[in-house]
Amino acid sequence: MTAGLRRGRETSSRRRRCRSLLPSLAITGALTVSLAGLAPAAAADTGPEQWYLEAMQAEEMWKVSTGKGMKVAVVDTGVNDSTPSLRGQVLPGKDTSNEPGDENVDPDSHGTTMAELIAGTGDGAGIKGLAPDAKIISIRAALKKKGQTVDWSKSGNIDESIRAAADSEAQIINLSFASEYYTPHLQDAVKYAVGKGKLVFAGVGNDGDGKNKSLYPASLEEAVAVAAVDESAKATEFSQHGGYVDLAAPGKNLPGWCPGQFDRYCTGGYGTSQATALASASAALIWSKHKDWTANQVLRVMMETAGKPKDGKVPSTRVGYGVVRPNDVLLKGKGDPGDPGKHPLDIPEPGESPSTSPSTGSGNNDDKGAADKVNVADSTESDDDSKLGLILGTGAAVAVLAVGAFAFVRMRRR
């Protein structure tokens, strides 16, 4: 493992300092819906709703890998397996919510959108997933109840949901939600998943423009914390930031089912939920091509090939080690997988001291200035106008469209 990919002592200690118990705050607006504006409908595969597919060179990547053979556990509000884009894409999962229905009942539509962003076929003018041949395993968690957010401190359900995902056949676990509430049980569940060889992605949250508190499970050292960037590869104002951000992915102006509905899509959605789904899909593409790699190796090449912060400081508080670029791995053969047994974030074993700060920079970069941007791969355009060659979570701001359009929920989840 190269020194530049180690999380420094200050970053690790910052995560530990943030682990306060906040039972009264719990899921902090995790599923609050905010709609704003209108936008015209467009074809899902080529329209502006899925601009990131072209930006990430999806068509070219799909000639090399489509995610076949990969399974992604979506721990969320459930996954509706009857949408045109998900028919045949969802494998048996588990319902840990104790709510009416099963894991394929999604009262919020959030989990279904995450599943489509990862592995949707695009049928029926639906969302085309970045890894369209991957399969989804739905783990329905107690995130919503009769239109209200569930307090983790009372439900005690999230750790059970993550353990269920870890015990499934999924190689990748997608956690597109965030909370201020921490318990040792939550951390133990994520550790359990990582210990079973799973790659766990979690959104950093959507309060970066104000409160900017460390949220969980992304703040846990064992989880890969995903932030959001926009079409110009610039860190979004809403994305949480701090010493625990690991990677970034597209998370603005993205498609999704209108909240709580399955008769139309909405557009203009944003948040680190979508970014997390696209990071999970990126990992599925890479792992499908390199089936002999471990989770550590997949993550290591994702970090090495990520679009780095413009000022060269790594990790950045805004985008971590950079914006995911699976195209660099699949189309250019970049990235050294390294030691299969060594976690690229250099998480210490019990009793082991954390690593010293990496030579390429520290995890406590100034939150302002050049670190907000990342370089755009192979782009000759100006920084602000370029359409990336890389990357992006989920949140709010939505525009209701006609059939085939997309809306997005502002979930303080990721």
CATH number of the domain located at residue range(s) 34-339+384-400 in this protein: 3.40.50.200
Calpha distance 273→76 (Å, rounded): 10
DSSP label at 145?
A: E
**Confidence (pLDDT) at 312:** 67
Q: What are the structural domain ranges in the chain?
A: 34-339+384-400
The residues of the chain scoring below 50 in pLDDT are: 1-48, 350-414
The string of pLDDT tens digits covering residues 329-339 is 999 999 999 99
Residue ranges with strand state E in 18-89: 71-76
Please give the single-letter amino acid code of residue 60.
E
Spatial CA neighbour of 73 closest among 149, 139, 26: 139
Spatial CA neighbour of 10 closest among 410, 339, 357: 357
**What is the pTM (predicted TM-score) of this model?**
0.79
**Confidence (pLDDT) at 348:** 57
**Which positions are annotated as active-site residues?**
76, 110, 273
Give residues with Cβ within 8 angstroms of 333, minimum separation 6: none
Tokens, residue 397: 């701001």
Handedness of CA 133, 86, 223, 231 (dihedral sign): positive
43 three-class SS: coil
Calpha distance 157→77 (Å, rounded): 12
Calpha distance 49→368 (Å, rounded): 29
The string of pLDDT tens digits covering residues 250-292 is 999 999 999 878 989 998 889 999 999 999 999 999 999 999 9
